């Protein structure tokens, strides 16, 4: 019974990671990845590793989505500029 | 397993499960709202886990999540602004329901802690959580669009 929270956290991580892989559009994938960061932090907390959870939260919930979204924007803008030059 | 951990388990399974469903399906406006609510639901669960394990140091995780969750949502609100402007999300019922859940959790934990410095920290986390959640929802709905362009 005490392991119920561990099972729930593991199932959530497995489901979120599967959804992240199955999503095709990069912008929507960044949204799922942000949720995955939070769920992973919960998993680390449940495993009594709050220090790892803290760094996972800092990187996963804000930094990874920011980098991904900036990259998507730059790639789209570059594609639009090249179409204009033709 | 005590009542606090049980409450955290139920909150995680129900809340994050629903948020995962919302972020995996549907139009973009539903996905951004679900992402925002996922962080707002995970924070009370972290606080409940800290109380359940009897380790006050774990409360820091809830504090960091209450600070960084809205920041992540604001990133999406800024960089997806063009796509969200055509179809703005309106989810005030869900936002206030989650905010009320966070408030109830923080009040229950404050009652269990008793008046001390730990209680002040919990109240700060609760204020950050609800304030950040409401601000992020307003940004998603386009409430700050004029500010961003001006």
Confidence class of residue A1 from pLDDT cuts 50, 70 and 90? Answer: low
Shortest Cα–Cα distance, A84 to chain B (Å):
20
Q: Which residues of A touch B76 (CB under 8 A)?
A: 30-31, 34, 65, 69
Q: Chain B within 8 Å of A17 (Cβ-Cβ)? A: no
Percent of chain A with pLDDT over 70: 97
> Residue B103 has what pLDDT?
92
Interface mutation vs chain A, best among B67, B75, B87, B133, most A CBs within 10 Å: B75
Report CB contact under 8 Å: B1, A66: no
Q: Inter-chain contact A35–B75, Cβ cutoff 8 Å? A: no
How many beta-carbon pairs below 8 A join chains A and B? 115
Express each pLDDT in B55-99 by its tens digit: 888 999 999 999 999 999 998 888 888 888 888 887 888 889 999
In this prediction, residue B150 has a pLDDT band, given cuts at 50, 70 and 90, of: very low
Residue B15, SS3 per DSSP: helix
- Look at residue A2 and tell me whether its pLDDT is greater than 80: no
Q: What DSSP line would sit under B40-93, residue for residue?
A: HHHHHHHHHHHHHHT-GGGHHHHHHHHHHHHHHHHHHHHHTHHHHHHS----HH
- Give the residue extent of every domain in chain B: 3-149
């Amino acid at each position: 019974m005490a392991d119920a929270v561990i099972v729930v956290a593991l199932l959530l991580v497995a489901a979120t990671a599967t959804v992240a892989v199955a999503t095709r559009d990069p912008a929507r994938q960044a949204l799922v990845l942000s949720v995955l960061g939070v769920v992973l932090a919960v998993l680390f907390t449940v495993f009594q590793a709050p220090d790892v959870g803290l760094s996972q939260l800092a990187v996963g919930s804000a930094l990874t989505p920011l980098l991904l979204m900036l990259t998507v924007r730059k790639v789209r803008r570059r594609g639009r500029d090249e179409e204009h030059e033709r | 397993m005590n009542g606090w951990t049980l409450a955290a388990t139920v909150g995680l399974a129900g809340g994050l499960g629903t948020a995962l469903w919302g972020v995996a399906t549907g139009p973009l406006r539903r996905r951004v709202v679900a992402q925002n609510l996922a962080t707002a639901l995970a924070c009370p669960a972290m606080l409940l886990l800290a109380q359940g394990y009897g380790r006050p140091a774990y409360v820091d995780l809830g504090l960091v999540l209450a600070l960084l969750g809205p920041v992540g949502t604001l990133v999406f609100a800024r960089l997806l602004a063009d796509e969200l402007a055509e179809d703005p999300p309106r989810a005030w019922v869900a936002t206030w329901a989650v905010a009320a859940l966070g408030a109830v959790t923080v009040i229950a934990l404050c009652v269990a802690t008793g008046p001390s410095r730990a209680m002040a920290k919990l109240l700060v986390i609760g204020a950050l959580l609800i304030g950040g959640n409401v601000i992020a929802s307003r940004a998603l709905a386009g409430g700050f669009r004029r500010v961003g362009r001006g």
